[in-house]
Structure 1
Amino acid sequence: MRHDAVVEELERLLDQPHRVGWDEVEPVLLLLAGIDASGDEAAGSAALATLARRPRELIRLDAVARRALWWKWTRRPEVSRSLSRFGEGIASPLGIALATTHGDGRIRERAVREVIARPLPELVPFLVLRSGDWVREVRAAAGAGLAELLHDDPARYLPAALGVGLRVERWLRGSFVRKQLLATAVDARAPLESLLESPDREVRAFAFGVGTWRLDRKVSVALTAPDVRLRSAAAEAAARDCVWTGRVEVLRRLAASPHAEVRVQALTGLVRAGRDAEVVAYLDDTSSLVRALARAVASREGVDVPAYYRSRVTAGAIDGFAEVGGDGRHLVELLAHPSATIRARAVRALRLLEQVPDDRVRPMLRDPSSAVVREATVAVRSVPEELPWELLADERRAVRLAGYRLARRIGPVAELRAALTVVVGEDERLARRGRADAVRMSRALESVPWRRRTVAPLEVGVEESPVLRALLARAAVELDEQTGYLLREHLG
């Protein structure tokens, strides 16, 4: 098998849901054993490299392997061949890695010593796992070997150990690993700079937390890091340095970041630097946290915040006005704004202020923008009896979904009617939702001994009953037998 095909198949299996029965063999382990039994060490190295990039899966596989019924596991020919190669002393790195997961502690201990004798970065994650082993001899050998490798060559082995090590540090015996990683990270030879570019967010956070960084590097991380936790930590550290050194221009640069967690740290720094007037300009920021900070500063500056929000037509100003409260008559005018974003925010703000004019918002259930339709669906307070069914007949999915949601607000009879209506519709996503709701409602009508709550009957009127029976007859082919039976019994 080609090496790229090995990696592709391994990643496919790793991405599948984990539903292996207690007496079944994990297919990933079988694939790895087959690769090792073939004697293709290059393919085995590619498989180990793939596992090293998936530390969570590696930890899971280790746990699954040790729970396996080894009399079934070893009976498989590829597994038997892999174990034989290990017993004969000709095991490949992949074979040694598999042996470290064996259910027999003596085999694991021997495998650990093989890893130490043949120290390869791709085997270090398995050594990290065994350093928390419950067997003392295995744990001692793995811990000593790991400490020695990290001390001798941190540039080579620390990146390999971090992925798994940072995830097992909370284990019962994981504190040893954490201490070794921290001790290695402060070594001048540790490649912390390259670790900041790791695809693993845990590794990036660790590298930034233990390193001593220049201000320009902190700013760079705050502006470019791919995950929010690292951006926030870097921005906080950079803002603190800027306050101490008076680097206001750097704080302004951070305040212009598109990420709210960076902006709020920069604005906090500007407040501490006495630049309150600059922070007031962020009253209509798109982030609620930034707006709250700006309002706190504006109150000290004597700014009329509600008036400020009324004077501006931006998404942040509309959201900010909803947060401070007041007479929202100016928002009603924005319901006809050409921008869909402004219309949607205006509807949401009126809902939060409990000032929704139903006669103006109800037509927006057919707005060209799906976002506006969603906001109007939540905001509208009174629902005419025929409105949901008119919307359910619309050609646009967003409008049909609005009709479905409004029908559920009318009551259980309308909810059942809407569910049976969409079950036979062309919109498969909405049909799945309708089937699920029909099943739920039918089960709620069934009285069973183990259900403590009282079954509430579905009060169907004389005019509604024929309509529901006709819809049920149409939808019967789309519903399971029990659901159809329960609904027919109730509808009569």
Structure 2
Amino acid sequence: MLPALLSARNPRTRSAGVTGLRRAGQAEQAESFLSDRSALVRACARYVVRQLGGDPVAWHRQRCTAPDDLELPPGAVIGLAECGNRDDAGLLWPLLGHPVAGVRARAVAGLRALDCVDAKPLRSLLDDPAACVVRETAAALLPLAKELPADWLLERAGSEHPRHVRVSAFRLLDARGGIVALRAAVGLLEDPDAKLRTRAEQSVQRWHPSADVRRGDAEVGSGFLAGVDALPSRI
């Protein structure tokens, strides 16, 4: 029965199997689940490994010290952030250039979990060919959106860029607020991409001047009115 639990697709079922390893006298097998794709399973594996006297943190650090290891599981990368500390960010930064997209994405997520995000070196990943990496990067950069160059983000919201780059760039522009967010939203109100168009409509509807917008700014008035006029009648 235990092998069936450990190989199950459902994370809760696999986690039950991992915790059952100790009772079955097979706790040493839990180490292989430290890099599971599920956070719940990884947490259970860390518990069992510690009960056996092992050190999950040391295991994760050892796995993440070879940036070119093509066999490095993405779960081992985010697992380091889950049980390590801020000093471990030094092992995650080199993984941003890993050839496997899942590893790059989990490295970004790990830096975010450790509160070690730095906008300047991380922003280049908004151009990553893998959508999962760009999504994680945008989520990590949201609190630092105002540190990103507005023109640089506006360019990436343009139609010449891949869809996942455009969506993430607009998400960051919207988070910036102010005239830059309004400008970006108005520019996307007639975009062929339905998701971007909907987000732009919502952005115009909820937009309000931020503290750095001058009262009576002509661009604000004309931009907002143009945006409202361009909204579909159903709104």
Q: Given the alignment of the two structures, is residue 333 of structure 1 paired with residue 94 of structure 2, yes or no? A: yes
Map 1:146-161 to 2 at 5 A: none
**Cα distance in 2 between the residues matched to 1:436 and 1:364:** 26
Map 1:230-241 to 2 at 5 A: none
Q: Is the 8 A contact 1:340 1:369 kept in 2?
A: yes
Residue 356 of structure 1 aligns to a residue whose secondary structure is: coil
Instruction: Deviation per CA, 1:60-106: give whole Å up to 9, x if none.
Output: xxxxxxxxxxxxxxxxxxxxxxxxxxxxxxxxxxxxxxxxxxxxxxx
Q: Given the alignment of the two structures, is residue 460 of structure 1 paired with residue 226 of structure 2, yes or no? A: no
**Cα distance in 1 between the residues matched to 2:167 and 2:217:** 24
Q: Is the 8 A contact 1:423 1:475 kept in 2?
A: yes
| % identical equivalent positions | 33
**Cα distance in 1 between the residues matched to 2:202 and 2:177:** 17
**Cα distance in 1 between the residues matched to 2:115 and 2:30:** 30
Map 1:278-317 to 2 at 5 A: 278-312=29-63, 313-317=72-76
Counterpart code for 2:121: R
Q: Given the alignment of the two structures, is residue 363 of structure 1 paired with residue 124 of structure 2, yes or no? A: yes
Instruction: Deviation per CA, 1:315-334: give whole Å up to 9, x if none.
Output: 11112111112222111111
Note closer, same or farther for the CA distance 1:387–1:461 as it changes in structure 2 (3 Å cut).
farther
**Cα distance in 1 between the residues matched to 2:117 and 2:205:** 34
The offset of 1:267, in angstroms, is: 2.2
RMSD of aligned alpha carbons: 2.6
Residue correspondences, number: 219
**Cα distance in 2 between the residues matched to 1:340 and 1:259:** 23
**Cα distance in 1 between the residues matched to 2:57 and 2:190:** 50
The offset of 1:359, in angstroms, is: 2.9
Map 1:140-151 to 2 at 5 A: none
1:438 is aligned to: 204
Partner of residue 106 from structure 2, selected from 345, 350, 361: 345
2:182 is aligned to: 416
Q: Is the 8 A contact 2:35 2:42 kept in 1?
A: yes
1:386 is aligned to: 151
Q: Given the alignment of the two structures, is residue 272 of structure 1 paired with residue 23 of structure 2, yes or no? A: yes
Residue 345 of structure 1 aligns to a residue whose secondary structure is: helix
Partner of residue 425 from structure 1, selected from 175, 184, 191: 191
Note closer, same or farther for the CA distance 1:396–1:471 as it changes in structure 2 (3 Å cut).
farther
TM-score normalised to structure 1 length: 0.41
Counterpart code for 2:213: V
Counterpart code for 1:383: L
**Cα distance in 1 between the residues matched to 2:210 and 2:34:** 52
Q: Which runs of 5+ in 1 are unaligned?
A: 1-249, 446-455, 484-492
The offset of 1:341, in angstroms, is: 0.9
Instruction: Deviation per CA, 1:251-281: give whole Å up to 9, x if none.
Output: 1233122322221222222221222112232
**Cα distance in 1 between the residues matched to 2:178 and 2:78:** 34
Map 1:125-136 to 2 at 5 A: none
**Cα distance in 2 between the residues matched to 1:339 and 1:292:** 24
Counterpart code for 1:324: C
TM-score normalised to structure 2 length: 0.81
Q: Given the alignment of the two structures, is residue 322 of structure 1 paired with residue 81 of structure 2, yes or no? A: yes
2:170 is aligned to: 404
Q: Is the 8 A contact 2:78 2:110 kept in 1?
A: yes
Map 1:37-116 to 2 at 5 A: none
2:69 is aligned to: none
Residue 386 of structure 1 aligns to a residue whose secondary structure is: helix
The offset of 1:470, in angstroms, is: 5.1
Q: Is the 8 A contact 2:95 2:107 kept in 1?
A: yes
Counterpart code for 1:318: V
**Cα distance in 2 between the residues matched to 1:284 and 1:269:** 18
Q: Is the 8 A contact 1:424 1:475 kept in 2?
A: no
Counterpart code for 1:410: R
**Cα distance in 1 between the residues matched to 2:198 and 2:30:** 49
Note closer, same or farther for the CA distance 1:476–1:277 as it changes in structure 2 (3 Å cut).
closer
**Cα distance in 1 between the residues matched to 2:210 and 2:5:** 60
The offset of 1:475, in angstroms, is: 4.1
